[in-house]
Amino acid sequence: MKKYYYKDLAEKQKISLLNRTRNIKDDINSDVASILKEVKNCGMKSAIKYAKKFDNYSSLSPFVTSLEIEDGAKLLSKSAKKAINTAYKNIYKFHSLQKRKDIDVKISDGIKCSLNYLPINSVGLYIPGGTAVLPSTLLMLAIPSKIAGCKRVVIATPVKEKVDPHILFIAKMLGITEILKIGGAQGIGLLAYGDKSFKSVDKIFGPGNRYVTEAKNIISIDPKGCAIDMPAGPSEVLIIADRYANPIFTASDLLSQAEHGTDSSSILVTNSEEFADLVLNELSIQLKTLFRGKFIKESLKNSYIIITEKLEDAFTFSNEYAPEHLIVQVKNYNKYKRKIQNAGSVFLGNYSPESAGDYASGTNHTLPTNGFAKSISGVTLSSFQKSITFQELSKKGLETISDTIITLAEIEKLDAHANAIKVRR
């Protein structure tokens, strides 16, 4: 990891460090657009064709049967079931508290307004299955979808022949019976456009590689596509640490993020160069013991350390970067909470590793990346809901605001709007 000194960074260099795409060379938009166009026109047939090409798909059916769910769910060890159940309880508890109350208010005599929260009817949950299967992502997405009351929940995950038993166990636990064995851009296309044998969904959730992300972005602006949870990019963590932090802990957090994929980013910002050097040394020690060392080494090429003179500068840079995950490992971290303006999810103190949020603390790990934390929140219960407003006016109520409406309509030269009020007088 290369070291930079914050006070010496020129504006152009700072912009380069904030740019997540600086190491991405190829443009995949046309390839993904081509796959989506074919799936849109030919449905399941094309989706299976690309699944065979990219994922070695060989299953007899793209749909998981009830028998497969039952049999697969039985394959888990007791320890795996216990871990899933513990994570389930924590995630459920945190998300169930996010329920919002409907609003019903009398604005004035004869004018009533209300707002009702309703579940999104049909949602698709994309669960990656490339370099690693992610049952934790299914927990993070399926639990709030069920709490919200979504009537139809569909899982899509890339497989060769069989869906991972951990996915099947969670599906059975949550009563999800519709599971597609197709992932990638073709899986996103199938969720968005549907087929004569499969109905499209209203909104798609879940992370994925660059092809999945690009597919989600494309279908989200297609009038015949559907909504998505958020625009996303490679996973990332930024750690703010002072000299009181534990370099072993910090190094482990940087490495845990780096193993997500070769395009992930792990960033350390500290006001202690001595601490930075201790972390660099610890990185090399721990890296030797990790199974996904090959991925991590590539990921660390996208990563760096920034040395600041003041700790406040670290928070300034972090807010500019707007990380997906922000870990604050400083002595008096509560003192600095108010300085945090942009982040997907924040982990406070030496004993709050990102891994906790990824799996079982209770918060959601589906978070905005690529700087979108400046304007977009991570997945919450409200992500699976929509709201509808209602208004009811009596003749007297309309009379009290008639002049206001007519005046504003005439300012905007929308005389038909004004007339709709005048004919009621």
CATH number of the domain to which 131 belongs: 3.40.50.1980
**Strand-pair partners of 236:** 265
Q: Based on the domain organization, do 213 and 354 belong to the same domain?
A: no
Q: Indicate whether 382 belongs to any domain.
A: no
Q: Based on the domain organization, do 282 and 409 belong to the same domain?
A: no
pLDDT of residue 294: 83
CA 21 to chain centre: 18
What is the H or E stretch that residue 205 is in? strand 203-205
Q: Which residue has the tokens 């979504």?
A: 150
Alpha-carbon dihedral 13, 14, 19, 23, rounded to 10 degrees: 40
Q: Indicate whether 37 belongs to any domain.
A: no
Could you give the number of structural domains in the chain? Answer: 3
Distance CA 130, CA 132 (A): 5
Q: Based on the domain organization, do 11 and 51 belong to the same domain?
A: no
Q: Based on the domain organization, do 238 and 197 belong to the same domain?
A: no
Distance CA 51, CA 183 (A): 7
Distance CA 261, CA 254 (A): 13
Distance CA 401, CA 391 (A): 14
Q: Based on the domain organization, do 310 and 209 belong to the same domain?
A: no
Q: Indicate whether 30 belongs to any domain.
A: no
Q: Based on the domain organization, do 219 and 239 belong to the same domain?
A: no
Q: Indicate whether 379 belongs to any domain.
A: no
Distance CA 271, CA 176 (A): 49
Q: Based on the domain organization, do 263 and 303 belong to the same domain?
A: yes
Integer angstrom CA distances of residue 423 from 391, 409, 417: 19, 14, 11
Range(s) of the domain holding residue 315 = 2-25+233-374
Domain end marker among 228, 253, 283: 228
Domain end marker among 194, 228, 262: 228
Q: Based on the domain organization, do 221 and 300 belong to the same domain?
A: no
Distance CA 22, CA 263 (A): 11
Q: Based on the domain organization, do 89 and 196 belong to the same domain?
A: yes
Tokens representing 108 are 């004035």
Q: Please, what are the averages of pLDDT over each run of 10 residues along the chain (425 residues)?
A: 94 90 70 96 96 94 96 95 98 97 97 98 92 89 98 96 95 97 96 95 94 95 96 91 98 93 91 97 94 87 94 97 97 95 97 96 96 96 98 97 98 97 95
Integer angstrom CA distances of residue 175 from 91, 153, 169, 252: 17, 9, 10, 36
Residues making up the chain, counted from first to last:
425
pLDDT of residue 381: 98
Of 112, 90, 111, 114, residue with least CA distance to 102: 114
Q: Indicate whether 98 belongs to any domain.
A: yes
Active site residues: 324-325
Q: Based on the domain organization, do 213 and 312 belong to the same domain?
A: no
Q: Indicate whether 31 belongs to any domain.
A: no
Do residues 172 and 67 touch, judged by C-beta distance below 8 A? no
Of 167, 214, 207, residue with least CA distance to 367: 207
Q: List the 203-205 sheet strands across, edge first.
A: 178-180, 152-156, 122-126, 203-205, 227-228
**Strand-pair partners of 113:** 105, 391
Q: Based on the domain organization, do 358 and 217 belong to the same domain?
A: no
Q: Indicate whether 287 belongs to any domain.
A: yes
Q: Based on the domain organization, do 177 and 295 belong to the same domain?
A: no
Q: Indicate whether 19 belongs to any domain.
A: yes
